[in-house]
Each structure stands twice: as C-alpha cells, then as structure tokens.
Amino acid sequence: MTVNGDEVTEEVEPRLLLVHFLRDTLGLTGTHWGCDTSNCGTCVVWLDGEPVKSCTVLAAMADGHDVRTVESLEQDGVLDPIQQGFMECHGLQCGFCTPGMMMTGRALLDRDPHPSEDTIREAISGQICRCTGYTTIVRSIEWAADHPAGDGADNTEGRPDAADAKQVEEVS
Ligand code: FES
Ligand code: FES
C-alpha cells in the first residue's frame, strides 16, 4: 500500500486492523483508536480518497491501495486550512476526536467547498466528540471553507463566538 504517499510493504497477521497497523507498525499515532464498536470515528483515515473508519478495515484489505492519515494534512510546514480552522475556532478540547474530525472535514470540503451547517453536521454524524464540542467543530470546518487557501485572514468578523475562543486561547 501507499501511506501518505510512501510505499509501504509489511508482513501482517490477517486479523490485524488498519488502525493498529498505522499506529503500532508504522508509528502514525495521529490516527486514534477510541472504541471497540465502530461508533466513535476517531480512527477515520482516507482509503483511496474516501474517509473510512480504519478500525473496520483489515490492514490486508488496504493492499494495493492509497491510505492517507492526519499526518498528511500539513505540507512542508504549512497547515491545511482545516487544521488552521480548528486552531482559529477552538475546535478541540481534549483533542482525541480531532484527527478523525479533520479528515472527514477535509474530505467534505474537497467535495463540497461551501457546505451548509446541516451538511457539515451530517458529515460528522458518524463521529463522536466525547467533550461534546460540536458547535466549535462545525465552526472550524466553516472557517476552512471560508479560507480555502488557509491565508490566515481574520475570520472573526461577524462571528462573536470565534472571537471569544481566540481570546480564551490568548489568555491561556
Ligand atoms: S475506533 Fe471507534 S470507530 Fe474506529
Ligand atoms: S475534543 Fe475531546 S473528544 Fe472531541
């Protein structure tokens, strides 16, 4: 398979899940493992460009396919706009759900650059934020939609809650 653009060849047990292959074999611990029931979505990666829960895919099933993890979002030291959005809008609390949320958000924006709030909520509906920060997660994805080049322009105009979040970050 290729993982984040690099060819990877390994002998694996047939039962090994992709999430464990990424984390334990390749050391790509940005992909999280949060449940045993395929419910939480912290493990979302892309398989041939499609977001999938990597705990529902055997590593062997990715043979010959292209896998992208959250580590692939930043390029040459520049954050993807979806990553910037989570920073700007305080889209994380403990951060455990964040990699999966960002991978789903990025995939959504690649298909629908200007999704409605309902569309964003539907896109992330298969994922759980145990800190329950859904409002700021949605706002983070909206920020990325508004800043496709990730230009860092001030996005707080007209978004008082986002401005509040920035102040909180500054204070802390
Ligand atoms: S680890 Fe919970 S859905 Fe994959
Ligand atoms: S930020 Fe803690 S689980 Fe989502």
Domain residues for 65? 2-72
- Please list the alpha-helical segments (H only) found in 64-133: 81-88, 98-111, 117-123
What pTM did the predictor assign?
0.87
120 Cβ partners below 8 Å, 6+ apart?
Answer: 105, 108, 138, 141, 142
40 lines ligand 1 (CB under 6 A): yes
Ligand 2 nearest-atom number relative to CA 94: 2
Specify the ligand 2 atom closest to the Cα of 92. 1
Let me know whether 65 and 118 are in one domain.
Answer: no
Does residue 52 sit in the same domain as residue 92? Answer: no
Indicate if 103 and 166 belong to the same structural domain: yes
* Domain boundary residue, one of 72, 94, 118: 72
Read off the CATH number of the domain in which 137 is found: 1.10.150.120
Q: Which band of pLDDT confidence, cut at 50, 70 and 90, is reported for residue 149?
A: confident
- What are the pLDDT digits (tens) for 153-167? 544 444 444 444 444
Which one of 55, 72, 89 terminates a domain? 72
Domain check: are 60 and 102 in the same one? Answer: no
